[in-house]
Structure 1
Amino acid sequence: MSEIAPIPLSQLTTLRVGAAPERMIDAHTRDELVAALRDVWSDDGEWMVLGGGSNLLMGDEPFPGTVVRILTRGFEVVGGAREGRVRLRVEAGQNWDELVAWTVANGLAGIEAMSGIPGTSGAAPIQNVGAYGQEIVQTLVEVDLIDASTGEVSTVPAADLALGPRTSVLKRHYGSVPEREAVILSLTLELEQVGTGERPIRDARLRSALGVAEDAAVSLAWIRDHVLAIRASKGMVLDDPDADTHSAGSFFQNPILPESVARTLPDECPRWPVEPDLDPVVVIPLESYDGALPRVVSTRADVKVPAAWLIEHSGIEKGFRLPRSRAGVSTKHALALTNRGGATGGEVAELARFIRSRVAAEFGIVLQPEPVLVGVEL
């Protein structure tokens, strides 16, 4: 590991805000990363890790602690995959889209719909990254991580991470601490070997997003190209000259509401059923077990509604700005808050607070931020 002169976080985050921290360490290998974290934790001071900086809103005051930059890169094929599949172990600092491009070129399916998502691979399991019907939970096998409380490295199965809609036990949600304070060192994915030729798209959500008929056949490369085009049209692919891409992606989570609450929204508000939990823990006393399992009955009736729809229908249009603010809603997508040039973290937070208040006043729903907020409050 190497301690470097602190770099302003406005140069290292996609929202382009944040002062230089008190201290900064670069970790280029797994051993350096482990050593750096153990060293930082031994001092019991404030700390944070930084990957691609694409899901982060920093405050304007210098971070009063150590920032550890995860610069580990690379991935390799490992054993243990099921027939017709390949397992890849990916270092946490590996650029995510470069990984996706490699899998597509090599005919491995499972993450192609997540093309163009900025950031590093280690961040993917933390919030169960997903797009157009694919989520990391569908291909994640396990992660290697280091626990902040003990400094111990362990391999944790994906099933133990409680991966849900943009969440996991590792996610630092706004206003709360993660259930498990740990840093991902690497992740293992299992992808399907489908080749580079054309084949039908099984997922209806992806077919709908791409405008593809149920019986149409396309290649992984075709899917990637079209997903990138869709994301670019929404300002969700990093492009330095385009201020709409100077964002943290989707700033607010799509709310998941009880069906009874969703019914109070206007009929034209889109809503998608949330799949019920069909794998609950059922405890049957041994003395009463007769060889039959009780029928599983799900009582969940939740639906997801689009935050972008709520924002626009609360009176906030694409391109909206508060007076004299250099932060604004993207001109292409109402869910992205952008730095139009020289905005501060405070200006982005002010805009986010205003949007939350408008949606709450109009629909009675409090939107939750998706990025990690450090040194700033909504």
Structure 2
Amino acid sequence: MTSPMPLNFDLTGHNTLGLRASTHYARRIEDASELPELFAQAERDGLPVRLLGGGSNVILGEHYEGITALMATRGKSLSEGADGAVLLEAQAGETWHDLVTWTVAQGLWGLENLALIPGTVGAAPIQNIGAYGVELCDRFHSLDAYDRTTGSVVTLGAADCRFAYRHSVFKEQPGRYVVTTVRLQLKRNGEPELSYRELSGLGSVDHPARVMDAVIALRTSKLPDWRVLGNAGSFFHNPIVSATVGRAFGVANPTAPAYAQADGTIKLSAGWLIEQAGLKGYRSGPVGVSERHALVLVNYGGATRTDLMALAEHVVETVQQRFAIALKREPELL
């Protein structure tokens, strides 16, 4: 097994929020076959274990008295199928955006709308990442995961993963599964997904690179670069409310974005709610609400989880008082 890193390993550079954080032990996992031994050793030593990929959708505490396993497995391959179908298989430690750009360079359609999302491949199905009209579940084929309950490797299909908006079985049973390999269904003769309003003006598109470039331009114009200003992207889910609540909200706020869902519910814009509540650009010490996008909370430097959660609570309470709508946090507390 890979040797453990030094005691009290600094994790400040291992989370995109840049929060001050450390772990008692850290272990870099370069092969999924190391996982059973890791958990067995941790059990013998009486230490808890948590997994960390790119640290892009997590909120780390100041110190973790256990082992943080840093997923660093690498590898990707393509299998050609009938009628231009291509099965992509990628290891959990691959960087998501790098994988997207690699598939686009191969002329493959499917992931171009999901460009520039930070994090690793293994984290993508946990969050069921999505952007600009596409969710991971739309391209999902299957995945392999180490099941800590049974001590075996299992293969899960889409139904097993129970995907929903920013949700999966991995959130229902946190800590049980360690995703090791993800398989996605792509196409060589695909068509662009341009249903998102800001992509609809692209017109005729004959290569996925054009969509990817447009998505990258949109994301960089709206979202601060986490490498410059610590953030986790969207900090709150877009709230989904009942038809009754949605209709009443629309009457009271006729200019507010609202999107009817297939089940009759209505999805509202969390960013709009926060901005209309007067919090865009709001700052509290080392943390604040981004001046560029109200849905993003940022770390101006030196912040801890305590600072960030106090800001998040203020945002939730302010929106609740102004609109009677409850916001829910998106990043996971580790």
Please report the TM-score for the alignment, with normalisation by the length of structure 2: 0.93
Question: What are the equivalent positions in structure 2 for 1:183-332 lying under 5 Å apart?
Answer: 183-194=178-189, 201-205=192-196, 208-212=197-201, 215-238=203-226, 240=227, 242-243=228-229, 246-265=230-249, 266-275=253-262, 300-317=263-280, 319-322=281-284, 325-332=285-292
Q: 1:13 to 1:308 in 2, by over 3 A?
A: same
- How far residue 216 of structure 1 moved from its aligned partner, in angstroms, is 2.5
CA contact (8 A) 1:311 1:359 kept: yes
- How far residue 263 of structure 1 moved from its aligned partner, in angstroms, is 1.6
CA contact (8 A) 1:38 1:151 kept: no
Are residue 343 (structure 1) and residue 327 (structure 2) matched?
Answer: no
The residue type paired with residue 156 of structure 1 is L
Q: Distance in 2 between matches of 1:163 and 1:141?
A: 12
Match of 1:280? none
Q: Distance in 2 between matches of 1:93 and 1:366?
A: 34
- How far residue 51 of structure 1 moved from its aligned partner, in angstroms, is 0.3
Q: Distance in 2 between matches of 1:194 and 1:330?
A: 39
Are residue 127 (structure 1) and residue 127 (structure 2) matched?
Answer: yes
Q: Distance in 2 between matches of 1:372 and 1:140?
A: 22
Partner of 2:328, secondary structure, is: coil
Cα deviation code 1:105-131 (max 9, x no counterpart): 001111101110011001111111110
The residue type paired with residue 73 of structure 1 is R
Q: Distance in 2 between matches of 1:331 and 1:74?
A: 38
Are residue 54 (structure 1) and residue 56 (structure 2) matched?
Answer: yes
Match of 2:95? 95
- How far residue 41 of structure 1 moved from its aligned partner, in angstroms, is 4.7
CA contact (8 A) 2:134 2:193 kept: no
- How far residue 236 of structure 1 moved from its aligned partner, in angstroms, is 4.8
* Bigger mean CA offset, 7-16 vs 70-79: 70-79
User: What is the aligned length?
Assistant: 329
Match of 2:331? 371
Q: Distance in 2 between matches of 1:119 and 1:274?
A: 28
Q: 1:28 to 1:202 in 2, by over 3 A?
A: closer
CA contact (8 A) 2:288 2:298 kept: yes
- How far residue 235 of structure 1 moved from its aligned partner, in angstroms, is 2.3
The residue type paired with residue 123 of structure 1 is A
Cα deviation code 1:84-137 (max 9, x no counterpart): 111011100000011000110001111101110011001111111110011110
Question: What are the equivalent positions in structure 2 for 1:81-160 lying under 5 Å apart?
Answer: 81-160=81-160
The residue type paired with residue 308 of structure 2 is V
CA RMSD of the aligned region, Å?
Answer: 1.9
* Bigger mean CA offset, 116-125 vs 151-160: 151-160
Partner of 1:312, secondary structure, is: helix
- How far residue 211 of structure 1 moved from its aligned partner, in angstroms, is 4.5
Q: 1:272 to 1:43 in 2, by over 3 A?
A: farther
The residue type paired with residue 278 of structure 2 is G
Q: Distance in 1 between matches of 2:82 and 2:175?
A: 30
The residue type paired with residue 330 of structure 1 is S
Partner of 2:241, secondary structure, is: strand
- How far residue 72 of structure 1 moved from its aligned partner, in angstroms, is 0.4
Q: Distance in 1 between matches of 2:44 and 2:264?
A: 46
Q: Distance in 2 between matches of 1:38 and 1:97?
A: 33
Partner of 1:334, secondary structure, is: coil
User: 4+ residue stretches of structure 1 with deviation over 4 A?
Assistant: 41-44
% of aligned pairs identical? Answer: 36
Q: Distance in 1 between matches of 2:276 and 2:189?
A: 42
Q: Comparing both structures, which one devotes a greater share of its residues to strand?
A: 2
Match of 2:4? 3
- How far residue 143 of structure 1 moved from its aligned partner, in angstroms, is 0.6
Q: Which runs of 5+ in 2 are unaligned?
A: none
CA contact (8 A) 2:224 2:292 kept: no
Match of 1:26? 28
Q: Distance in 2 between matches of 1:329 and 1:41?
A: 41
- How far residue 301 of structure 1 moved from its aligned partner, in angstroms, is 1.2
Q: 1:178 to 1:363 in 2, by over 3 A?
A: farther
- How far residue 42 of structure 1 moved from its aligned partner, in angstroms, is 5.4
Q: Distance in 1 between matches of 2:307 and 2:135?
A: 32
CA contact (8 A) 2:51 2:69 kept: yes
Cα deviation code 1:192-228 (max 9, x no counterpart): 1138xxxx634422xx222415x52342111111111
Q: Which runs of 5+ in 1 are unaligned?
A: 172-176, 276-299
Partner of 1:63, secondary structure, is: strand
Q: Distance in 2 between matches of 1:41 and 1:82?
A: 46
CA contact (8 A) 2:20 2:302 kept: no
Q: 1:328 to 1:209 in 2, by over 3 A?
A: same
Partner of 2:170, secondary structure, is: coil
CA contact (8 A) 2:122 2:179 kept: yes
Q: Comparing both structures, which one devotes a greater share of its residues to helix?
A: 2
Q: Which one has the largest radius of gyration? A: 1
Cα deviation code 1:301-359 (max 9, x no counterpart): 11111100111112212x2112xx11011121101100011122111111100000001
